[in-house]
Structure 1
């Protein structure tokens, strides 16, 4: 392992940061992983109680550590947390320096690389930086939200359906989280999905095999996002065989997006008003990169300026875990390692002095 250069600092100790740490050590460089929380498991401990992976265990492992249990079972949230903590121990044994409870507040560029600053005032010189800090909830702007008297929350705050028993709930969104949460809420509450596009369900099993088998073996996972945007309309929701029935029998209803919140209710697109007790927004997440704001690496919306995870503004800065970064699977357990190998190969060349070696 090369100890003559400053380390590669990896911001975030979840699945993306751990995948980066493995790739950095494999490249012969020193990774320092900075994780804001007290566990090297990313956001997984904070997800809702019933969350299970949409991919079976055999397609949910990262390099060097098989996912335990039946390869065909769909791991629960807590299983993923335990797996990631095992993976953190593995990469630590390989040489990664993982520092918990260390929140990064800023990154600045210097001629020799970068300086990463923590919330305790600590500064770490880095020959390269991996921004792998996950995502924060995307809070939509809803007309009338300020005066809405019901409960208005992003599903990031949702844990289980107990608090919604007997209530009228509108869930904004048409993706996997919206449908999975809506389905379990419908057992105890009156639920409607509100979305701009219809829900598009995809069977979890095709021809007797999990759909992820076909995604991997056909090469679907390797199709670039620009092509997917033209070939696949809308978001796909994995259906284990219960969601389609729930939609058909009216257990889980869907309506076009409401036009506004109004006091204690919503105004639907046909102009009718309806009282609702709670509105939950399953509107996705955006990269959590505030610490790069002063570096000039983000666009006006706070999104990274990158090409496949390689910064377009700062050589030596790379990203991991961005949705559709290079493929459909980019921000998943099964896909992040391929992205890590891609960006770390370029980062290792840069940090190793490839440019200087040619006298440039």
Structure 2
């Protein structure tokens, strides 16, 4: 994962990587055929994670290993199912393109109409929490491949600046 910080990648289910040659053009073509009633599966049949160069590079370094979802958030970070606590300077919450964040509402007083109050992608209520990929309220076109990358880079820069990096 990161070359400059310790990172834990948490997923609800095992990651499914798309073939290396799948890019935005392939995804658009598959989605267009599916929308037109064409034969074959949809985009989700290809996998969950597009193998952009940075993902391929991390895979090739052998650092893409996900952990099962933590049991809960704590004042200092996360608590794992085995009771161990991990301190976190930041949590990047990017659960996909269909936002269902109602489980976060009790933690975030600024919650309004299904959205957390943010400054860029950083939660106004919990400054260690970053929300990515949920549409324009978390960054221009952030639920698209191009926008997600742009928003992710800006988020990493924000986290690094807050941590003094």
TM-score (norm 2): 0.68
Number of matched residues? 150
CA RMSD of aligned residues (A): 3.5
Higher relative contact order (CA 8 A, sep 6+): 1
Match for residue 8 of structure 2?
32
Unmatched tracts of structure 1, length 5 or more: 1-20, 45-64, 136-284, 355-360
Unmatched tracts of structure 2, length 5 or more: 31-41
Q: How does 1:91-170 map to 2 (within 5 A)?
A: 91-94=58-61, 96=63, 98-100=65-67, 102-109=68-75, 114-134=76-96
TM-score (norm 1): 0.35
Task: Please say if residues 131 and 289 of structure 1, whose CA atoms lie closer than 8 Å, have aligned partners that are also in contact.
Answer: no
Flag the structure with higher strand content.
1
In the aligned structure 1, how far is the partner of 2:5 from the partner of 2:21? Answer: 25
What per-residue deviation string (whole Å, max 9, x for no partner) do you get for residues 112-171 of structure 1?
xx3112345443211211111236xxxxxxxxxxxxxxxxxxxxxxxxxxxxxxxxxxxx
In the aligned structure 1, how far is the partner of 2:64 from the partner of 2:84? Answer: 15
* 1:320 counterpart = 2:122: no
Relative to 1, partners in 2 of residues 1:297 and 1:99: Cα closer, same or farther, differing over 3 Å? farther
In the aligned structure 1, how far is the partner of 2:47 from the partner of 2:119? Answer: 30
Cα deviation for residue 330 of structure 1 reads 1.0
Match for residue 310 of structure 1?
122
Match for residue 340 of structure 1?
152
In the aligned structure 2, how far is the partner of 1:79 from the partner of 1:341? Answer: 27
Task: Please say if residues 316 and 350 of structure 1, whose CA atoms lie closer than 8 Å, have aligned partners that are also in contact.
Answer: no
Greater Rg over alpha carbons, structure: 1
